[in-house]
């Protein structure tokens, strides 16, 4: 049982349909399976959650794939971790959203939504195996606004076949017309176990991907959405508090299938096997991070942020000065202008070469 106030993530492992590119842990929704999952989840929740959460994030899969009755039961359980004023996010697939579910979310204090818009082109959505149209995203946004949830983020995907720069720009404009507070931008990665992988579909080459990324970057920034993480852009004050906890390498508890947790120097990965989960065998793996691995992970996560790695937090956590631990690497990266130190934060000057910079940190023997 964890009693310290922690960020809480819960994975709902069901989708009404499976998208052609998706490798998240998901199962085709059935009421019977979802009921059995919910009973196992109830047990896991009350075994582990002895705190009021710093933030709550319900992801998946698709939380809104649950029937209204099961969604209500599920939200009743999660209410036990809620306290006034926290950020409470739910991922929504427009395919499985209606007024009853919107009202349920509002009644259970949800105050932020992350909506899978993906593309505003109905032909592209169909190619990706999405069963909704752009008009359904608009209807989702209208319902959220009507019940009073006006803080929503839109997910946008690029680098898939048939997409053109013109259709991408059109998606950006149509997405903007929905007045979100936040955008998350993803490039397609082809994972095994997906239909795209089996069909041999390839994403764009690196240069083309960079062109799309820069197009989106310029578009968001010119409309007041500031980049605060490699793939995330927000109006001022609407950055995702929950995801910032991950990137600042603070503790979080993940519940249900495939969810990960980080509590102090331990990482836990839950099983992806639904039958095992239903039997109460939640955990698949537990790793104790040694100091060096943990320090590197904190740098790897923090450097994704425009604010960078908080050097004071690093010192508090490890009792060492990052500038000393990574002295040789830092000297090199500071002198070639790849990174800078500002207000006690180590900041990457060019996020497009972040991976190269991280390799330098990884390769240095500490001290």
Q: For strand 283-288 and strand 112-118, is the pairing parallel, antiparallel, or unpaired?
A: unpaired
Write phi, then psi, for 334 (nearest 5 degrees).
-70, -40
Tokens of 183: 């955008």
- For residue 106, the tally of other CB atoms under 10 A from its CB is 16
CB of 277 to ligand SF4, least distance (A): 17
| Nearer to ligand SF4 among residue 61 and residue 308 (C-beta) | 61
CB of 19 to ligand SF4, least distance (A): 3
Contacts 24+ apart (CB under 8 A), 127-132: 127/20, 127/160, 127/161, 127/162, 128/19, 128/20, 128/21, 128/157, 128/160, 129/17, 129/18, 129/19, 129/20, 129/21, 129/22, 129/195, 130/19, 130/95, 131/16, 131/17, 131/95, 132/93, 132/94, 132/95
**Distance between CA atoms of 10 and 145, rounded to whole angstroms?**
24
CB of 18 to ligand SF4, least distance (A): 5
CB of 244 to ligand SF4, least distance (A): 22
| Nearer to ligand SF4 among residue 92 and residue 298 (C-beta) | 92
CB of 24 to ligand SF4, least distance (A): 4
Q: Measuring CA to CA, which residue among 8, 13, 152, 11 is closest to residue 80?
A: 8
CB of 184 to ligand SF4, least distance (A): 13
Write phi, then psi, for 18 (nearest 5 degrees).
-105, 125
Does an H or E element contain 232, and which? Answer: strand 232-234
Largest CA-CA distance found in the chain, in angstroms, rounded: 61
| Nearer to ligand SF4 among residue 131 and residue 332 (C-beta) | 131
Write phi, then psi, for 11 (nearest 5 degrees).
-100, 120
Task: Write out the residues near ligand SF4 by the rule CB under 6 A.
Answer: 15, 18-19, 22, 24, 26, 60-62, 93, 116
CB of 21 to ligand SF4, least distance (A): 7
Does an H or E element contain 219, and which? Answer: helix 206-222
| Nearer to ligand SF4 among residue 24 and residue 197 (C-beta) | 24
CB of 129 to ligand SF4, least distance (A): 7
| Nearer to ligand SF4 among residue 255 and residue 325 (C-beta) | 255
Of the CA atoms within 13 Å of residue 200, those in its CB half-sphere come to: 0
Assess contact for 357 and 348: CB atoms under 8 A: yes
CB of 15 to ligand SF4, least distance (A): 3
Tally DSSP H helices, then E strands, for the chain.
Answer: 15, 17
Residues 6+ away with beta carbon under 8 Å from 97: 64, 136, 139, 140, 143
């Amino acid at each position: 049982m964890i009693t310290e106030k922690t960020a809480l993530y819960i994975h709902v492992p069901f989708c009404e349909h499976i998208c052609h590119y998706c490798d998240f842990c998901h199962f085709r929704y059935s009421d019977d399976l979802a009921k059995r999952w919910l009973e196992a989840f109830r047990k896991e929740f009350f075994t582990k959650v002895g705190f009021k959460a710093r933030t709550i994030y319900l992801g998946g899969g698709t939380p809104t794939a649950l029937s209204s009755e099961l969604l209500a039961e599920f939200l009743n359980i999660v209410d036990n971790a809620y306290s006034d004023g926290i950020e409470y996010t739910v991922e929504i697939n427009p395919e499985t959203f209606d007024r009853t579910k919107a009202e349920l979310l509002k009644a259970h204090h949800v105050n932020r939504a992350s909506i899978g818009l993906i593309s505003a082109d109905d032909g592209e959505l169909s190619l990706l195996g999405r069963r909704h149209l752009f008009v359904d995203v608009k209807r989702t946004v209208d319902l959220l606004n009507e019940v009073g949830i006006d803080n929503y983020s839109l997910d946008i995907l690029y680098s898939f076949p048939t997409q053109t720069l013109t259709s991408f720009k059109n998606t950006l404009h149509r997405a903007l017309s929905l007045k979100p507070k936040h955008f998350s931008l993803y490039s397609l990665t082809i994972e095994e176990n997906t239909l795209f992988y089996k069909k041999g579909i390839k994403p764009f080459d690196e240069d083309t991907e960079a062109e799309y990324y820069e197009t989106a970057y310029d578009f968001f920034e010119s409309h007041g959405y500031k980049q605060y993480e490699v793939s995330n852009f927000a109006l001022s004050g609407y950055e995702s508090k929950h995801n910032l906890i991950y990137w600042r390498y603070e503790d979080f508890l993940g519940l249900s299938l495939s969810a990960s947790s980080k509590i102090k120097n331990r990482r836990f990965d839950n099983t992806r096997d639904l039958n095992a989960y239903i039997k109460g065998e939640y955990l698949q793996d537990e790793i104790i991070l040694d100091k060096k691995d943990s320090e590197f992970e904190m740098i790897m996560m923090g450097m994704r942020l425009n604010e960078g790695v908080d050097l004071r937090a690093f010192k508090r956590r490890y009792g060492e000065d990052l500038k000393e631990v990574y002295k040789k690497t830092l000297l090199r990266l500071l002198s070639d202008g790849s990174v800078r130190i500002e207000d006690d934060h180590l900041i990457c000057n060019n996020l497009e070469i972040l991976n190269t910079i991280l390799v330098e940190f990884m390769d240095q023997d500490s001290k």
